[in-house]
Amino acid sequence: MKILKSIALYASLMLGANAAFADTTALEAMRAGLMKKLVFHSEPKPVSTIAFTDPQGGQNHLADYKGQYILLNFWATWCAPCRKEMPSLERLQVKLGSDNFKVVPIATGRNTIPGITKFFEKAGVEHLPVLLDPKSTLARDMGVLGLPITVILDPEGREIARLRGDAEWDSDSALATFKALTESK
């Protein structure tokens, strides 16, 4: 019964999807379990232009990801809920990662590169980048007041949804939501 309901909701979303911004009512109806914490905004919001880095010290910006949906996850190695959800973010990237969708985790605050590398190896994370916000400048500018925080960006680089706390990012509900988003592009 639950699967039929999900299929019906997914079909209704696909029939009525707007190319610029998917029907948030239909997307919200698809959420189940921990995904109910994912809140879609009534209007897209601008995001920070503050740089974050990679392990080699290269400068990155959220604008670098324009043209695709981004699941932007603020996390830290010392954060237990962050560590719990990271393997599901990895599985989401493996299942749906494409030119239209990417999972972008940013370690904010005091996280060492060796510590991140060790955690990624232990958790089996192989398909996610190591990105850093060492002084939490980007996180503060994005209104991140606790960890983990996940922000969904649309292809125009605007925030369209936010989830506070951890989630099961590879659950049926999450997969259906992100498939609907990326197919509405």
CATH number of the CATH domain containing 113:
3.40.30.10
pLDDT tens-digit series, residues 30-74: 666 667 889 999 999 999 999 999 999 999 999 999 999 999 999
- Assess if residue 21 is contained within a domain: no
- Assess if residue 160 is contained within a domain: yes
| Residue-number span of the structural domain to which 108 is assigned | 33-169
Side-chain-side CA neighbours of residue 157 (13 Å): 11
Please state, in angstroms and rounded to a whole number, the distance separating the CA atoms of residues 99 and 102. Answer: 8
DSSP for 81-120, please give it. Answer: HHHHHHHHHHHHHHHH-SSSEEEEEEEESS--HHHHHHHH
- Assess if residue 47 is contained within a domain: yes
pLDDT tens-digit series, residues 64-88: 999 999 999 999 999 999 999 999 9
Q: What is the band of 25 on the pLDDT scale with cuts at 50, 70, 90? A: low
- Assess if residue 161 is contained within a domain: yes
- Assess if residue 121 is contained within a domain: yes
Number of domains in the chain: 1
